[in-house]
Structure 1
Amino acid sequence: MSPSKSLTMHNVGIVVKDLDAAVEFFTELGLELEGRAPIEGPWADGVTGLHEMRVEIAMMRTPDGHSRLELSRFLAPEVIADHRTAPVNSLGYLRVMFNVVDLDDTLARLRKHGAEVVDQVVDYENIYRLCYIRGPEGLLIGLAQDIG
């Protein structure tokens, strides 16, 4: 089997302080809560390299069922770094981009949950309207609307 046929993305993980607020925000965006669970034990320690780790996760699924966000709130050990407000030219993961049907409506709904447009909504070559927003806890999220 070729690599292109055998590879799918399972999820993108995001660490948050307020799991309930993050679930509400991503639900408003249009994702569906697949489930919540505590994560701990030798298998979790082994995969992450964090010993005596205790985490509460919420798995969010896109309506088409193809993509997921795993939202995690660490109970132990303490969070040791904060990348949420790093500028877009920082090394590492930048943002998660979502395609939406109506960008203006989506922004209006998300603003009720504290979202702010980073700078402005732009038109990219009459193909997309797009913007970056800061979501819950300053997370950088991209939104794009097909217009072409």
Structure 2
Amino acid sequence: MEAQVPPWDSAGADRAVAVLKAVADPSRYRLLWALRRQELPVSTLAELLGAHVAATSQHLAKLRTAGLVSSRREGTRIYYRVAGAHVEALLEGAVLAAGATGAGSGTAAARTETAAVAQEQHAPARTAARRVRRPVTE
């Protein structure tokens, strides 16, 4: 018995590629990782990245266009969250794919957890260092 191969869906493939392109940037991946468990304002997300709010907003706009995040406004603040369970599945799939192709020991889950903890522990230090080096403009 032969396996059934579904017909090529050009529009579906284009949508999938757009999602992969949106997540392909390390800053956008980190944003999704931070938002996977909680809703956060742009200012907090910018701090986590060590980037300006404007740059962070541009990354979030690309993620929103790809259907990966949604937002709500509360006064002057805009809060972002992942758009659904499909985002968590996408992040998990990327981790599994990286574990299957990368070198190292341990399970993919263990490597992911170690990497996540390391990123979260070192993010504030990198943020402070970047702020010191930026020129002051008035």
Q: Same fold (TM over 0.5)?
A: no
* More strand by percentage: 1
User: Which is higher, the Rg of structure 1 or of structure 2?
Assistant: 2
Output the TM-score relative to the length of structure 1: 0.27
Relative contact order higher in (CA < 8 Å, ≥ 6 apart): 2
* More helix by percentage: 2
Output the TM-score relative to the length of structure 2: 0.28
